[in-house]
A and B are shown apart, each in its own frame.
Chain A
Amino acid sequence: MRRAYKYAVLTAMIVSTLALALAASAGGLGYALPFPAVRNLAYWYLRTTYNPFMPKFTASAPEAVTAIVWDYRGLDTLFETSVFFLAIIASMALMRGIEVRAPESINLSKYGMSAIVKTVTRITVAIILAASASIALHGQLTPGGGFQGGATAAVAPLVIIVIFSLYFAVGSGIKKKSMLTLRTLGLLGIGVTSFAVIVAGLILGKAAYVFQNQPKEAAPIGLPSHILGVPMGGTLLLFNIFEFLAVAAGFTIVFLLLSVPEESVRKVLEGGEGHD
């Protein structure tokens, strides 16, 4: 009876989804495209994102999405990054007092999965890290960017923790403190980059804006748009690198804290304030 009810609900959902899709594709929702006034904004972004003939307006990055995320709408992304950082800080505050460390005199080969899985993982971790670095460092040229690369890179320590055990990860340098240092370094870098042009302007005696990338009308100063003939997007490359560090290290901290065995930290979790 219950099973029949389940399948009846599922069939009804499939039928209604198909009916909605058919109605929408037959023009049941009115205009399929946004109004032309909305599309002007998209035209403007696409025309100026990499346009050497409009040097006062271009972001000098062929990748429009990265240009919008870190140049046209840079402050939005800055606050998104701070929200993410606050979430990491909150989870670390919840698990304060927990030390992620391997016990003394431990035989690492007894932990984790079989030798076959470990060997395959050694290869895939290298591939994951290379792919994530290419996603982040080519962020101003091809689809991708700091957050995408950082999220991809965070899969590598996760795989190491699951396949090799937490103690191997801690022993090979994936520690809470070093990850927090990387994370802070990334955020500091983002902060410094957003003020880089204004500081340069102060030194050179020219007007500049916070979060400025390329020279603008009243602020004729900016970071180099090309290095060795390759479009670097000025601040976009730096933002991508630092965001990559911050995101990858932030996710890794959460996984380190989540994978600590419950027994070893029960005392800390039950001990009220959690100090000592």
Chain B
Amino acid sequence: MISPETLVFGVLAALGLISMVATFMAVLERDLLKAVLFSAVQSTAYAFMFYILMAPDILLVYVPVAVGLYPAVILFLIKKTERFEGGEEE
């Protein structure tokens, strides 16, 4: 039988891993639009972690900023510049 504490820490670890993988993909992704989406996945995982760690004040500011405002700024910038990152070929 798994104790509730272990379960909570397990969920936290899973969310941490999801955010780590999403950050990795966002850094490597050439298509900046997809990179913004990966970044949003990372933010969502962080939002759940803040909730589990009992920091609702941070959660309430993190959700609109990291899922709404920040991707919007980046999307506006992508629209004004280029969607694909240049550089060497694969």
Interface residues of A (CB under 8 A from B): 2, 6, 9-10, 13-14, 17-18, 21, 25, 65-66, 135, 143-145, 147-148, 151-152, 154-155, 158, 162, 251, 254-255, 258-259, 262
- Bound state CA distance, A2 and B60, in angstroms? 40
- Bound state CA distance, A229 and B59, in angstroms? 29
Apart from A2-B90, A10-B21, A145-B57, list 9 A-B contacts with CB within 8 A.
A6-B28, A13-B20, A14-B21, A21-B16, A148-B60, A151-B65, A158-B69, A162-B72, A258-B77
Please name 26 pairs of A and B residues whose Cβ atoms are closer than 8 Å in the assembled complex, sorted by A: A2-B90, A6-B28, A9-B24, A13-B20, A17-B20, A18-B13, A21-B13, A66-B57, A143-B57, A144-B60, A145-B57, A147-B61, A148-B61, A151-B61, A151-B64, A151-B65, A151-B68, A151-B69, A152-B60, A152-B63, A154-B68, A154-B69, A251-B69, A254-B73, A255-B72, A258-B76
> Quick check: A155 and B64 within 8 Å, CB to CB?
yes
Chain B facing A: main interface SS: helix
Chain B residues within 8 Å of A151, by CB: 61, 64-65, 68-69
- Bound state CA distance, A87 and B79, in angstroms? 22
> Quick check: A143 and B90 within 8 Å, CB to CB?
no
Q: With CB as the reference atom, state the residue of chain B lying closest to A154.
A: B69
Query: CB-defined interface of B46-64 with A at 8 Å, one 1/0 digit per residue?
Result: 0000000000110111011
Chain A residues within 8 Å of B17, by CB: 14, 17-18
> Quick check: B72 and A158 within 8 Å, CB to CB?
yes
Q: What is the distance, in angstroms, from A268's C-beta to the closest C-beta of chain B?
A: 15
Chain A residues within 8 Å of B28, by CB: 6
A-B interface pairs (CB < 8 A), number: 61
Q: With CB as the reference atom, state the residue of chain A lying closest to B13.
A: A21
Q: Is B84 an interface residue (CB 8 A)?
A: no
- Bound state CA distance, A158 and B72, in angstroms? 8
> Quick check: A25 and B9 within 8 Å, CB to CB?
yes
Query: CB-defined interface of B6-25 with A at 8 Å, one 1/0 digit per residue?
Result: 00010001001100110010
B63-90: which have CB < 8 Å to A? 63-65, 68-69, 72-73, 76-77, 80, 90
Q: Which listed residue, A13, A18, A143, A262, touches B80 by the CB 8 Å rule?
A: A262
> Quick check: B57 and A158 within 8 Å, CB to CB?
no
- Bound state CA distance, A259 and B79, in angstroms? 10
